[in-house]
Chains A and B, each alone.
Chain A
Amino acid sequence: MSLSPASGIGRFYKHSAKIIRFVRLGCTNRPFYHIVVMERRKNQHQPVIEQVGTYDPLPNEHNERLVALNTERIRYWLGKGAHMSTPAAELLGISGILPIHPRTYMTAWRNRQAANADQQRQENAEGVATQ
């Protein structure tokens, strides 16, 4: 697939529903996402209206996940009434541009629960071992 400019080559109707979403690029076992604006009804691999950021879900050598956001354009499209996919909304929530998405709180809570349960299980196992 040849690269298109960040301003995009996708054709769109004036009043069609737009969405800010991820496009999975990269390759097998190495995901890499572009954050794009496109028509909602389209498939992710069709031409986009505009690319507004990137997201690298694999942690780098400093153990960080890198996200780049073109905040000016994101605000523009949100102002135009663009929708957001849930992962994109979560990411924007974490970045501080939007309020935190409820699902982020849910995952956080579930992760904490799982960690607690793990700890409990370990303590129990240790208790059994010492007895």
Chain B
Amino acid sequence: MYDDLKPADFEATALMAVEACAKAGTTAERAQLLAEAGLLGVLAPDDCGGLGLSMRFGVPIASAAGKGLLAYPLIETMVLARALAGVAPDMATALCEGSVIASIAWAGFGDDGVVGRAPLAHEAAQVLVFLADGRAVLVATDDQVSVDAAPEFDLDVPEATLRLSAPPQGIVLSAALVATLKAEAQFLRTAVVLGSVSACLGLASDYAQDRVQFGKLLSANQALRHRMSRDAVVAETLRSGLARALTAPREGAGMARDALWCWAAQAGPSVAESAIQVLGGMGFTWDVPLHRHLRRMRALAHQGAARERLDEIADAVLGSTDNEWYGDIADAR
């Protein structure tokens, strides 16, 4: 049905929608703008009002959201709409239509009564809460839940903490659906980081080519040129890493995705820090949006549990090898 669509087609649409969202007054208005552009349901099947497209189409949308600091739980909506389609199609449809705002509490388990890192949960009607057994429950933010706005580190998609007064009740997602949802979110987070990295590099290079110090442009100084070149390598590495991870590499799709995410979670914020340095005193001000990108990427790193994923990669590295050239060395641990 959508065979003629290309991922790049969504980039321009997404950038325009994100720009429009920046001028919208409320989260509900942003939901409508994003839904009208067809962005919320891009991954969800068409019988739920989605487009049924692959992650390759989700990435440019998430990247545009990062670039424009979209104030909406976009990643959560996109992956939830797909996950819920076979379980609760009406809810999936409502998410695609933007009539229900939902979030995901990325930290903690509902079994413990407190979960956190739920972007914009204080404005969400539904929040997905993970359980210790691998499943998850979509709970309504009504009487059984109190939502505390966490200290607002991420200014654009602030996180909230949820306190559950009873074991979570609601639509249940199986452990398999949850695993897929988490994997899809890793791709989208990486794409948001790529968008932020591009924006930060753009702000730095524009400023450096305008600001004159010691009688010459900042961009005439090799130290700053090389700093920005290194930041450009980060952007290109994220781009090529996404391209590879999305084409189901022959060797280890999981490793390709997780390694990319772990690296993005470290390298992305470093580009924002670098851009702040290029802008000097201006970079340190509230009005220049570099700190918002930095906050956004740092929050995402924790939502995506980058450090924990890196520990998992460490376990894999320290494990036995499938490289037959080294398979015959005796294991004495």
Chains A and B form a bound pair: no
